[in-house]
Amino acid sequence: MEDERRYLFIDFEFTMPDKGRGFKGFYPEIIEVGVVAVINDRIIDQYSSYISPIRFPKLSERCKSFLHITQEQVDQGISFLELVKKLKELSDNQSCTIITWGNMDMRVLRTNCQKADLVFPFSGKEVDLSMEYKRFFGDQNQTGLWKAVQEYGKEGTGKHHRALDDAMTTYNIFRLVEKDKRYLEKHEPTTIGDRIDFSKLLNKFA
Protein backbone atom coordinates (compact mmCIF):
# COMPACT_ATOMS: atom_id res chain seq x y z
CA MET A 1 0.00 0.00 0.00
CA GLU A 2 1.27 3.44 -0.92
CA ASP A 3 0.24 5.10 2.32
CA GLU A 4 1.73 2.48 4.64
CA ARG A 5 4.30 3.85 7.06
CA ARG A 6 6.91 1.12 7.28
CA TYR A 7 9.75 1.27 9.80
CA LEU A 8 12.54 -1.02 10.95
CA PHE A 9 14.05 -0.11 14.34
CA ILE A 10 17.48 -1.73 14.42
CA ASP A 11 20.25 -2.18 16.94
CA PHE A 12 23.51 -4.06 16.49
CA GLU A 13 26.23 -4.99 18.95
CA PHE A 14 29.76 -5.17 17.54
CA THR A 15 33.14 -6.70 18.28
CA MET A 16 35.75 -4.48 19.93
CA PRO A 17 39.47 -4.95 20.55
CA ASP A 18 41.02 -5.01 24.01
CA LYS A 19 42.24 -1.57 25.10
CA GLY A 20 45.80 -0.94 23.97
CA ARG A 21 45.80 -4.16 21.93
CA GLY A 22 44.39 -3.35 18.52
CA PHE A 23 44.28 -6.20 16.02
CA LYS A 24 45.99 -5.51 12.71
CA GLY A 25 43.36 -4.51 10.14
CA PHE A 26 40.62 -4.60 12.79
CA TYR A 27 37.13 -3.36 11.99
CA PRO A 28 33.95 -3.86 14.09
CA GLU A 29 31.84 -6.86 13.12
CA ILE A 30 28.17 -7.36 13.99
CA ILE A 31 27.72 -10.08 16.61
CA GLU A 32 24.14 -9.43 17.75
CA VAL A 33 21.08 -8.01 16.01
CA GLY A 34 17.73 -6.75 17.29
CA VAL A 35 14.97 -5.60 14.93
CA VAL A 36 11.46 -4.28 15.58
CA ALA A 37 9.35 -4.06 12.40
CA VAL A 38 6.49 -1.54 12.53
CA ILE A 39 3.75 -0.75 10.01
CA ASN A 40 1.33 2.11 10.71
CA ASP A 41 2.27 2.31 14.41
CA ARG A 42 1.79 -1.43 14.95
CA ILE A 43 4.60 -3.89 15.71
CA ILE A 44 4.31 -6.67 13.16
CA ASP A 45 7.55 -8.56 13.83
CA GLN A 46 10.54 -8.78 16.15
CA TYR A 47 13.82 -10.56 15.56
CA SER A 48 17.03 -11.14 17.45
CA SER A 49 20.04 -13.38 16.96
CA TYR A 50 23.75 -13.71 17.60
CA ILE A 51 26.04 -13.60 14.56
CA SER A 52 29.39 -15.32 14.10
CA PRO A 53 32.12 -12.80 13.21
CA ILE A 54 34.20 -13.64 10.12
CA ARG A 55 37.45 -11.64 10.21
CA PHE A 56 38.12 -11.86 13.95
CA PRO A 57 36.09 -14.84 15.21
CA LYS A 58 37.60 -14.80 18.73
CA LEU A 59 35.99 -12.18 20.98
CA SER A 60 38.22 -9.95 23.07
CA GLU A 61 37.89 -10.04 26.87
CA ARG A 62 36.72 -6.40 26.79
CA CYS A 63 33.98 -7.25 24.29
CA LYS A 64 32.71 -10.22 26.34
CA SER A 65 32.80 -8.21 29.57
CA PHE A 66 31.19 -5.03 28.17
CA LEU A 67 28.40 -6.73 26.18
CA HIS A 68 27.95 -9.83 28.39
CA ILE A 69 28.16 -11.99 25.29
CA THR A 70 30.00 -15.32 25.41
CA GLN A 71 32.20 -16.92 22.79
CA GLU A 72 29.80 -19.88 22.68
CA GLN A 73 26.84 -17.62 21.84
CA VAL A 74 28.52 -16.11 18.78
CA ASP A 75 30.01 -19.46 17.73
CA GLN A 76 26.47 -20.86 17.60
CA GLY A 77 25.05 -17.73 15.94
CA ILE A 78 23.93 -17.34 12.34
CA SER A 79 26.37 -16.39 9.57
CA PHE A 80 26.65 -12.80 8.35
CA LEU A 81 25.18 -13.93 5.01
CA GLU A 82 22.11 -15.24 6.86
CA LEU A 83 21.84 -11.92 8.71
CA VAL A 84 21.81 -9.93 5.44
CA LYS A 85 19.15 -12.26 4.01
CA LYS A 86 17.05 -11.86 7.17
CA LEU A 87 17.30 -8.05 7.09
CA LYS A 88 16.17 -8.06 3.47
CA GLU A 89 13.27 -10.34 4.40
CA LEU A 90 12.26 -8.08 7.31
CA SER A 91 12.15 -5.07 4.99
CA ASP A 92 9.87 -7.19 2.79
CA ASN A 93 12.03 -6.14 -0.18
CA GLN A 94 10.33 -2.75 0.02
CA SER A 95 11.56 0.72 0.76
CA CYS A 96 11.08 1.39 4.46
CA THR A 97 12.54 3.85 6.94
CA ILE A 98 15.45 2.43 8.94
CA ILE A 99 15.74 3.98 12.40
CA THR A 100 18.76 3.57 14.66
CA TRP A 101 20.13 5.40 17.68
CA GLY A 102 23.39 6.86 16.39
CA ASN A 103 24.98 6.38 12.97
CA MET A 104 27.33 3.51 13.83
CA ASP A 105 24.87 0.68 13.14
CA MET A 106 24.42 1.43 9.44
CA ARG A 107 28.09 2.35 9.00
CA VAL A 108 29.20 -0.99 10.43
CA LEU A 109 26.59 -2.88 8.40
CA ARG A 110 27.84 -1.20 5.21
CA THR A 111 31.47 -1.99 6.03
CA ASN A 112 30.63 -5.61 6.88
CA CYS A 113 28.71 -5.97 3.59
CA GLN A 114 31.65 -4.54 1.62
CA LYS A 115 34.16 -6.83 3.37
CA ALA A 116 31.93 -9.87 2.71
CA ASP A 117 31.23 -8.74 -0.88
CA LEU A 118 27.47 -8.65 -0.23
CA VAL A 119 24.87 -6.13 -1.38
CA PHE A 120 23.63 -3.73 1.32
CA PRO A 121 20.10 -5.02 2.19
CA PHE A 122 18.21 -1.72 2.49
CA SER A 123 17.07 0.89 -0.02
CA GLY A 124 14.95 3.20 2.13
CA LYS A 125 15.60 6.33 4.14
CA GLU A 126 17.92 6.04 7.15
CA VAL A 127 17.21 8.09 10.27
CA ASP A 128 19.62 8.62 13.17
CA LEU A 129 17.10 9.15 15.96
CA SER A 130 19.78 10.48 18.35
CA MET A 131 20.32 13.45 15.99
CA GLU A 132 16.55 13.98 15.62
CA TYR A 133 16.30 13.96 19.43
CA LYS A 134 19.22 16.40 19.73
CA ARG A 135 17.66 18.82 17.20
CA PHE A 136 14.19 18.54 18.72
CA PHE A 137 15.33 19.34 22.26
CA GLY A 138 18.15 21.70 21.27
CA ASP A 139 20.78 19.70 23.15
CA GLN A 140 24.39 20.59 22.45
CA ASN A 141 25.60 17.03 22.83
CA GLN A 142 24.22 13.76 21.58
CA THR A 143 22.43 11.84 24.32
CA GLY A 144 22.83 8.15 25.03
CA LEU A 145 19.84 5.92 24.29
CA TRP A 146 18.92 5.05 27.86
CA LYS A 147 19.65 8.54 29.17
CA ALA A 148 17.21 9.88 26.54
CA VAL A 149 14.42 7.56 27.62
CA GLN A 150 15.03 8.44 31.29
CA GLU A 151 14.75 12.15 30.41
CA TYR A 152 11.19 11.28 29.37
CA GLY A 153 10.62 9.84 32.84
CA LYS A 154 10.58 6.31 31.44
CA GLU A 155 12.86 3.31 31.67
CA GLY A 156 14.52 1.38 28.86
CA THR A 157 13.08 -1.97 27.82
CA GLY A 158 14.96 -4.97 29.26
CA LYS A 159 18.74 -4.64 29.49
CA HIS A 160 20.99 -2.02 27.92
CA HIS A 161 23.34 -3.44 25.25
CA ARG A 162 20.96 -6.28 24.47
CA ALA A 163 20.24 -5.64 20.81
CA LEU A 164 16.49 -6.35 20.77
CA ASP A 165 15.93 -4.43 24.03
CA ASP A 166 17.80 -1.43 22.61
CA ALA A 167 15.83 -1.63 19.35
CA MET A 168 12.57 -1.67 21.34
CA THR A 169 13.76 1.25 23.48
CA THR A 170 14.58 3.17 20.26
CA TYR A 171 11.04 2.50 19.03
CA ASN A 172 9.58 3.73 22.33
CA ILE A 173 11.57 6.99 22.17
CA PHE A 174 10.52 7.46 18.54
CA ARG A 175 6.86 7.24 19.60
CA LEU A 176 7.39 9.77 22.42
CA VAL A 177 9.18 12.26 20.15
CA GLU A 178 6.56 11.90 17.39
CA LYS A 179 3.80 12.47 19.95
CA ASP A 180 5.52 15.67 21.13
CA LYS A 181 5.97 16.87 17.55
CA ARG A 182 2.27 16.38 16.83
CA TYR A 183 1.37 18.19 20.05
CA LEU A 184 3.52 21.19 19.10
CA GLU A 185 2.08 21.30 15.58
CA LYS A 186 -1.48 21.42 16.95
CA HIS A 187 -0.81 23.98 19.66
CA GLU A 188 0.32 27.25 18.13
CA PRO A 189 1.61 29.85 20.60
CA THR A 190 -1.29 31.81 22.07
CA THR A 191 -1.61 35.53 21.31
CA ILE A 192 -2.56 38.17 23.88
CA GLY A 193 -6.02 38.22 22.29
CA ASP A 194 -6.44 34.52 23.11
CA ARG A 195 -5.60 35.10 26.76
CA ILE A 196 -7.73 38.20 27.41
CA ASP A 197 -11.42 38.59 26.66
CA PHE A 198 -11.39 42.21 25.40
CA SER A 199 -15.19 42.48 25.37
CA LYS A 200 -15.30 41.91 29.17
CA LEU A 201 -12.41 44.28 29.66
CA LEU A 202 -14.12 47.08 27.67
CA ASN A 203 -17.44 46.55 29.51
CA LYS A 204 -15.60 46.97 32.79
CA PHE A 205 -14.43 50.45 31.78
CA ALA A 206 -17.63 51.50 29.94
Catalogue the active-site residues: 13, 161
Sheet hosting strand 30-39, strand order edge to edge: 42-50, 30-39, 6-14, 97-100, 126-128
Q: Could you tell me whether strands 126-128 and 30-39 are parallel, antiparallel, or unpaired per DSSP bridges?
A: unpaired
Buried b (16+ CB within 10 A) or exposed e, 42-59: eeeebbbbbbbbeebeeb
Cα 89 vs. chain centroid, distance in angstroms?
18
Comparing CA positions, the residue from 13, 127, 112 lying closest to residue 55 is 112
| Whole-angstrom distance, CA of residue 10 vs CA of residue 50 | 14
